[in-house]
A and B are shown apart, each in its own frame.
Chain A
């Protein structure tokens, strides 16, 4: 943990906004620039900033590495799972149109959303995990 008070206060103020911005980019990726990859990186960098300033132990309390490891797999699972759900509905792998009975384009929307969520979860947790493994090796 760093002793610089200014740094700690400023970072504490910034982190909620970074995480919020990450979520905004994730949700708003359909309409403006953004999407799962960018959102994941921004979200992950919020945690990385926290870990850099407040120390790895504090970071581990917020985001236990066991959980992060599960999240990595979960993201890929959500992505591939979306594909299998559409297959179970009688379509092809990742054929989103079937996710909504009335309007295929709504189904597309749901499909893209869940796929992007999967990408975002994987990217964010991989970034956090990579940083943690690098930084915890210092000791």
Chain B
């Protein structure tokens, strides 16, 4: 129980590291954004899994209900998801502009064009 009870954190760490690897290793800017998204989802999972209570139900109050899971992380992540998609759209917009200016979305090629 003591060690296996932390499996949610292991999943979060693995997902987070996969996203992190994509962000720092891959040269394609679009792929980087998707990696960033994966990293973000791992953080969401971390928060939500911390709010879970064993045997709890969704925090919508009804008579005889309870115990309820912690609603606070849900609120924070709910807004974070929508803000996340807005910033993702902004990032994609930047990528499209870069593609139009340089003709490529690969980091190495952009750098080569900048200092030949």
Contact = CB atoms under 8 A, between A and B. Distances in A.
A contacts B: CB pair < 8 Å: yes
A41 B82 CA distance: 9
A15 B78 CA distance: 25
Contacts of A126: 86
A66 interface: no
A37 B92 contact: no
The DSSP consensus for interface residues of chain A is: helix
B79 interface: yes
Contacts of B101: none
A130 B60 contact: no
Chain A interface category by residue count: 10 to 19
Contact of A32 (B60, B81, B85, B96): B60
Contacts of A33: 58, 60
Given A31-B60, A126-B86, A37 B78 contact: yes
B80 to A, nearest CB: 10
B105 to A, nearest CB: 15
Given A32-B60, A33-B58, A126-B86, A134 B79 contact: no
15 contacts: A31-B60, A33-B58, A35-B78, A37-B78, A40-B82, A41-B85, A123-B82, A126-B86, A130-B86, A130-B89, A134-B89, A134-B92, A134-B93, A134-B96, A137-B96
Interface of A: 31-33, 35, 37, 40-41, 123, 126, 130, 133-134, 137
